[in-house]
Chain A
Amino acid sequence: MKWFSALVMVLLLALMLYATSDLPDHADPQAPANTYVSPTYIENSVKDTHTPNVVTAILADYRGYDTLGETVVIFAAGLACALVLMKKAGEKEDR
């Protein structure tokens, strides 16, 4: 069983190495991810929000909806921890 999963991993490694041949080169300024939407953010963040840090401007302003959902996720995770681990009224202390 262990050998089988190791074999699957090696095959997957070969498949992924083959797939990386389609990815852009290291630090390529003309890569699709670097030319589509991010220049707009860099050029407009100071004008729109007076915030030099582009990461903060995107995080809280341009994509605030995303951040709101993500904060809800971590708060829900904290509540889930509390609900799973909280002691009931009759249970004794220290597990």
Chain B
Amino acid sequence: MVELFIARYVYLMIVVLLIIGLYGMLGKRNLLKKLIGMNIFQTAIFLFFIEGATKAGGSVPVIDQQLGMAAAQYVNPLPHVLILTGIVVGLALTGVALAFILVIYRAYNTLDDKAIMKEMSK
């Protein structure tokens, strides 16, 4: 049991972070809090990919002549690339979401989703 925990404890933290983000998206009623929850959710997925890239004894994926060319010497570079692009897309996504939230606030003077739905159905 303890060995399993030591081998998998990063997944435990990632799953907890994922659940916090999902609860922020589903359980909170303020649109800005929903956006913050979405960012936490994204961060959990980024951490999951980076955790999958680690190797025991691996160095940073920059080829060093002293370490040689063997693949076991370096951590997996592919998830790092995917997450590098993913972070920037998350930034652009946050910008667009904030723009829509600003427009919604100017139109309805509230950020509460139930109140907005009531205003819209009138």
- On whether A and B touch (CB less than 8 Å), the answer reads yes
* A95 CB to nearest chain B CB (Å): 7
Are A29 and B11 interface neighbours, CB within 8 A?
no
For A8, the closest partner residue in chain B by CB is B26
Of the candidates A46, A77, A85, the one having the most CB atoms from chain B within 10 angstroms of its own CB is A77
Bound-state Cα–Cα, A45 to B103, Å: 47
Bound-state Cα–Cα, A80 to B80, Å: 28
Q: Which of A8, A17, A29, A63 is within 8 Å of B55, CB to CB?
A: A29
Residues 99-122 of chain B, each 1 if its beta carbon lies under 8 Å from chain A, else 0:
110110010000000000000000
For A59, the closest partner residue in chain B by CB is B81
A residues near B85, Cβ cutoff 8 Å: 59, 66-67, 70
Main secondary structure of the interface of B (DSSP, over half): helix
Q: Which of B52, B56, B91 is within 8 Å of A33, CB to CB?
A: B52
Q: How large is the interface on B (under 10, 10 to 19, 20 to 34, 35 or more residues)?
A: 35 or more
Q: How large is the interface on A (under 10, 10 to 19, 20 to 34, 35 or more residues)?
A: 35 or more
Report if B22 contacts A (CB, 8 A).
Answer: yes
Are B22 and A9 interface neighbours, CB within 8 A?
yes
Bound-state Cα–Cα, A13 to B57, Å: 31
* A2 CB to nearest chain B CB (Å): 6
A residues near B52, Cβ cutoff 8 Å: 24, 31, 33
A residues near B15, Cβ cutoff 8 Å: 13, 16-17, 20
Are B88 and A70 interface neighbours, CB within 8 A?
yes
Are B61 and A55 interface neighbours, CB within 8 A?
yes
Hey, which bits of chain B sit against chain A, CB under 8 A?
A: 4, 6-12, 15-16, 18-19, 22-23, 26-27, 51-58, 61-64, 69-72, 74, 76-81, 84-85, 88-89, 91-93, 95-96, 99-100, 102-103, 106
